[in-house]
Chains A and B, each alone.
Chain A
Amino acid sequence: MSLVFDLVLCLMILGTAAASLLMRSALGGIVFFIAFGNLLGIAWLSLGAVNVALAEIAIGAGVTGILLILAHARLSAMGDPVECEPTSPWMRAAVAVICGGLIVLLSVAVLSISPTDRMGAQIATLMPALGIENPVTGVLLAFRAYDTLLETFVLLGALVAVWAIAPPGGWPQRPASLAIATPVSLTVIGTFSRVLLPASLVMAAYLVWTGSDLPGGAFQGGTVLAGGILVAALGGAIALPRADDMRLRSVLVLGPAMFLGIGLGGIALGRFLSYPVGLEKALIVAIEYALALSIGATLALLVAGKPVPPAAVQEGGD
């Protein structure tokens, strides 16, 4: 794409970022943040990084946006207007100078480095051995599988951390209901959500499968699944599970456990996380399907929030 297009895109990214931070209204800021995330997705498309674009739009803009909006709504319901205490203009000026200085330093450093595809060629020579064609999936599930393994535990750990702060009487109950209270919109969303959950399952499965060779993968697929679960919960088609539900626990640990298990299986052949020759693609796809399922459930529950006492389940969702 042309440089002019990129230039306009970058200006819009900076504009929406500035608006998301400088607006007085917190909700307005969040809306601009979501727009910012989607524009970033386009920037990644412009860089030819479709995998990242999908992840940015689905997770960076989508999931993070919903998280922030839901937090804002729940804070408002408790009487917190989410207003910032004013800061003195002198302080703002001083901070602006410091941040401006950081931007200048970073820019000098950035301009001293010549942009180039450093490892693409090396990765391309290794891809045939994996039997898959998407190099980003190759990096995530083979060359840097160790990073990805630890990352799945960050996600799982975050959910456990959210459980840890359940209020008294909230353990081990369900998260506050997300179901929409107004009957009319409930009918519409209710019908819609019953269709959307299976559709998201199919879509997630497709994204994981295609992720071996084309853009997509476990994280993008998992996020679509999380979206389906959340819309179904919004429409009241499903109830979110209790935190001590062993079926839930099994789904949550399935992906990380499969990853660990296949990694440990590699020890029999030499090294942790080495795939036996000929089985690379099969094992990578197996890990990815299990991961997508676990990521979908984990992200959905992360958005829904901590377990609350049963009495609060109904009123907490607006």
Chain B
Amino acid sequence: MSPLDLLVVAPLVFMVLSLLAGGWQRSLLALAIATMAALSVWLMTLDPGTAHVVGGWELPLGVLLRADGLAQMLVPAVTLTAGLTGLYALHQFAPESHASNAQTAAFWPLYYLMWSAANAAFLTTDLFNLYVTLEMASIAAVAMAAMGSVRAALRYLLIALLGSIFYLLGVALILSRYGTVDVTLLAGMAEADFATALALALMTGGLLVKAALFPLHGWLPPAHAAAPAPASALLSGLVVKIGFVITVRLWFEGLAAAATPAGLHVLGGIGALAILFGSLQAIRQESLKALVAYSTVAQIGYLFLAFPLIAGAGHAWAGLSFHAVAHMIAKAAMFLAAGLMLKAAAGPRIADLAGLARAMPLTVTAFGLAAVSLMGLPPSGGFSAKFLLVDAALRQGQAIHAAVMLIGGLLAAVYLFRPLAVAFSGSETPVVPPKAPSMVAAPLALALAALLLGFAGGPLADLATGGAPATVAPEPLPALEDTVETASEDEQ
């Protein structure tokens, strides 16, 4: 028995059950959360690098599943994010209204499908299996986006299909060139020839569309902003990370031989532009959910800005893994909190939020705590991630990279303080009684988790580096906990 396959299979079992369950979705969700939490704990206790082939069919024929540091961080984060988002969604897609509403009936199977797809993507090293996984995620993600806006969903689907074609094109070249699609085998075989370089470029292009890296992000803000809050949380938290993780596996492991420094710097440069562009767009938004969606465009930039820093001095790999986890949790918290705030507000605009801090203090607190992590203020997961990344950039003499990250943090403060300032203004709004305690608790718990990540910096950074590919500079980690704690004392 192994959690590597069960983490993918269990949500599929729940998907089947949810199609047959009718009004039993609540019990099903409780069972799913318990199962996935247990499996995630089991995953974290495995030695980094634990792997096995599905069904016992050896490579290069079979499919390899592997728990590396990145997966051991991301899969539990998915469990936390998806689980709490599910509790929130129980009220938005209440099973009691099952018979009357297509979205209520369709949400739960799609939710479990997306959960399975995210875990599958983080746990396999097989490039073709990842293609199927990407399409599982696309189906669920586009359908959830369609619950908000059919037009945005259609645009999302078409662009995602094109991205898949480019990805599959690269997979076809790799399979034909090397006779395998397994990243671990390719790591030892790949050469820097033309076909490999072209395959890497094509796959990266396709994946960047799915990860919504600027300037391929156009589909994201309308889709993420229009979707129902739990869907937005899953789309921004889980789905964009899938394209990112596959890109990492290609550039630093499978096809590292063809990954030139110039290519890494191009990705880093695009990442820097994404941070600046996404932040400036977020500042310009009038609608709260559009602001949060553009913040995702900016935060994805950090993930790619780190690429040219990975092989050098410092701990960019740990920072990168950390940032992926911290953003997943904090962004989900923020979308869920924003969903509740908009239900209570007079309209979708930021100006309509006046007085909400008084009306729904816990929810505005959740929004604020998530903002702390997204801005990279201590103590938070976002701070630990950005600290590691800026530190690596400075050690490598990449002053521009460091400057962009710091400016990005300042811009995030600008755009995230604005809705908070409005929410704290005005005092006439009466207290809004929460519809359900778990709806208030879910974003708060996620935001607190994003904050607490900052205190677990050391062990988590060790975990991330534990199964890191050989291309990542092996170096002892600094005493991150001390740094974070010192920095956190300066706050307030």
Contacts and interface: CB of A to CB of B under 8 A. Distances in A.
A interacts with B: yes
Interface of A: 105-106, 108-109, 112-113, 115, 118-119, 122-123, 126, 139, 142-147, 149-151, 153-154, 156-158, 160-161, 163-166, 170-172, 243-244, 246, 249-250, 252-253, 256-257, 260, 263-264, 266-267, 270-275, 307
A194 B50 CA distance: 56
B1 A157 contact: no
B87 interface: no
Q: SS class of chain A's interface: helix, strand, loop or mixed? A: helix
B195 A157 contact: no
Interface of B: 1-2, 5-6, 8-9, 12-13, 15-16, 19-20, 52, 54-57, 60-63, 99-103, 105-107, 109-110, 113, 116, 120, 128-129, 132-133, 135-136, 139-140, 142-144, 146-147, 150, 169, 173, 176-177, 179, 193-195, 198-199
12 contacts: A109-B194, A146-B63, A147-B63, A160-B19, A160-B143, A161-B146, A164-B102, A164-B146, A244-B105, A260-B12, A272-B2, A273-B5
Given A157-B110, A164-B102, A172-B102, 9 more contacts: A147-B63, A147-B129, A157-B136, A164-B106, A171-B102, A253-B16, A260-B16, A266-B55, A273-B55
A159 to B, nearest CB: 9
A263 B193 CA distance: 40
A163 to B, nearest CB: 5
B179 A119 contact: yes
B179 A151 contact: no
With most chain B CB atoms within 10 A of its CB, the pick from A108, A157, A244 is A157
Given A105-B198, A143-B57, A272 B9 contact: yes
A22 B259 CA distance: 37
Given A109-B199, A161-B110, A250-B20, A244 B9 contact: no
With most chain A CB atoms within 10 A of its CB, the pick from B55, B103, B110, B173 is B55
A144 B61 contact: yes
B16 A143 contact: no
B56 A274 contact: yes
B113 A157 contact: yes
B16 A122 contact: no
Nearest to A118: B179
B139 A157 contact: yes
A310 B279 CA distance: 48
Nearest to A155: B139
B246 to A, nearest CB: 15
A108 B194 contact: yes
B214 to A, nearest CB: 20
Q: Which 8 A-B pairs have the closest CB atoms?
A: A161-B143, A164-B106, A171-B102, A166-B102, A273-B55, A118-B179, A272-B5, A109-B195
Nearest to A105: B198
A112 B193 contact: yes
Nearest to A173: B102
Contact of A165 (B107, B136, B146): B146
Contacts of A113: 173, 176-177, 195
A147 B132 contact: yes
B4 to A, nearest CB: 9
A84 to B, nearest CB: 14
A295 to B, nearest CB: 15
A119 B132 CA distance: 21
Nearest to B54: A146
A106 B52 contact: no
Contacts of A267: 1
Given A106-B169, A108-B194, A272-B2, A256 B110 contact: no
Given A113-B176, A260-B13, A271-B54, A154 B135 contact: yes
A149 B150 CA distance: 29
B55 A272 contact: yes
A294 B198 CA distance: 39
B195 A142 contact: no
With most chain B CB atoms within 10 A of its CB, the pick from A123, A161, A172, A263 is A161
A171 B101 contact: yes
Contacts of A163: 102, 105-106
Contacts of B99: 172, 244
B177 A145 contact: no
B106 A161 contact: yes
A153 B169 CA distance: 23
B11 to A, nearest CB: 10
